[in-house]
């Protein structure tokens, strides 16, 4: 399983890479904004993306729209401080598969990753 | 600015500490301030816009900032470097983001956040517009002391000429 972690915070990327490691996922690439994420998805086949919302250059939601418009169907978990219902709805409409609100318990993000991965494998 | 406006931000600090940092935190007295902030070693500021417009600032001594980073990453960093700035920026982002959803019960008009700004060093002074009033609260935590300042205004309902 190959995963792309997208967040402008290097520290948050490390936190998420650690969570992926606890879910036995170690093949992980990182991107610092939406533009880098879209470029990475154009070059590499990912099985899962963890996507922040507020980032410079391109917001996470716009990156999701671009990735879906390019025909990619891998699960995308939005991991963000944006907790309003309107934001969640916008993200799901844009193509996010699931949504995790910061701050989160380490166990929450791990179980969410495992849940999305299991569902993805079941569908595949 | 009403004193209770700071409560969502305090609740967000508590939630951050209980979830991602796994540390106890306790607030001290709350005060209204119009003067310059007390200098600390690192300060993170983030702006809110939309139906609530203002700024949130978190200030940390170096020891607390380092403890926060080390708790988040499981490291033993002893140097105030870019990793510390990055972590403190994310902390203020999480506190403000969580608070804005509490302000409108998660169901109202969305409040937008700016990208965070970090000021590092121990000899800076932050001044604010002369008429602005800030709510300030200090905290004691298992990771060390820190403080938070908040100022914002709620947009007046349409048709309200007051």
Sheet holding A2-6, edge to edge: A27-31, A2-6, A48-51, A76-80, A98-101
SS3 A120: helix
Characterize the bridge pairing of strands B134-141 and B25-33. Answer: antiparallel
Interface mutation target, options B19, B56, B75, B107, chain A, most CBs of A under 10 Å = B19
Tens-place pLDDT, residues B49-105: 988 888 999 999 999 999 999 999 999 999 999 999 999 999 999 999 999 888 877
H/E segment holding residue B158 = none
Chain B residue numbers touching A87 (CB-CB < 8 A): 110
- What would the DSSP string read from start to end of B39-74? P-SEEEEEEEESSEEEEEEEEE-HHHHHHHHHHHHT
Backbone angles phi, psi at A89, to 5 degrees: -60, -45
Closest Cα in chain A, distance from residue B119 (Å): 16
Backbone angles phi, psi at B161, to 5 degrees: -90, -5
Distance CA B83, CA B136 (A): 26
ipTM for the complex shown: 0.89
| Among the ranges given (B25-39, B68-82, B134-148), the one the predictor scored with the smallest mean pLDDT | B25-39
Assess contact for B51 and B108: CB atoms under 8 A.
yes
Which of A11, A56, A86 lies nearest to residue B90, judging by beta carbons?
A11
């Amino acid at each position: 399983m190959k995963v792309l972690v997208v967040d402008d915070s290097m520290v948050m990327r490390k936190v998420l890479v650690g969570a992926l490691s606890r879910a036995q996922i170690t093949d992980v690439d990182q991107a610092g904004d939406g533009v880098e994420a879209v470029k990475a998805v154009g070059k590499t086949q990912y099985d899962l993306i963890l996507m922040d919302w507020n980032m410079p250059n391109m917001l996470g939601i716009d990156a999701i729209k671009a990735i879906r418009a390019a025909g990619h169907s891998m699960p995308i978990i939005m991991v963000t401080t944006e907790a309003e219902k309107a934001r969640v709805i916008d993200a799901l409409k844009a193509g996010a598969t699931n949504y995790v609100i910061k701050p989160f318990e380490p166990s929450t993000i791990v179980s969410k990753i495992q849940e999305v991965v299991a569902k993805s494998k079941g569908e595949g | 600015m009403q004193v209770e406006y700071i409560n969502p931000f305090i609740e967000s600090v508590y939630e951050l500490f209980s979830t991602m940092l796994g540390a106890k935190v306790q607030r001290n007295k709350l005060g209204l301030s119009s003067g310059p902030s007390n200098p600390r070693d690192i300060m993170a500021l983030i702006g809110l816009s939309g139906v609530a417009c203002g700024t949130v600032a978190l200030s940390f001594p170096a020891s607390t900032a380092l403890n926060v980073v080390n708790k988040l990453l499981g490291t033993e960093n002893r140097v105030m470097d870019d990793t510390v700035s990055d972590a403190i920026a994310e902390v203020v982002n999480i506190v403000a983001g969580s608070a804005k959803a509490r302000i409108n019960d998660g169901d109202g008009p969305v409040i937008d956040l700016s990208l965070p700004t970090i000021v590092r060093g121990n000899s800076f002074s932050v001044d604010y517009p002369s008429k602005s009033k800030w709510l300030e609260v200090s905290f004691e935590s298992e990771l060390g002391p820190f403080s938070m300042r908040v100022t914002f205004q709620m947009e007046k309902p349409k048709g309200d000429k007051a």
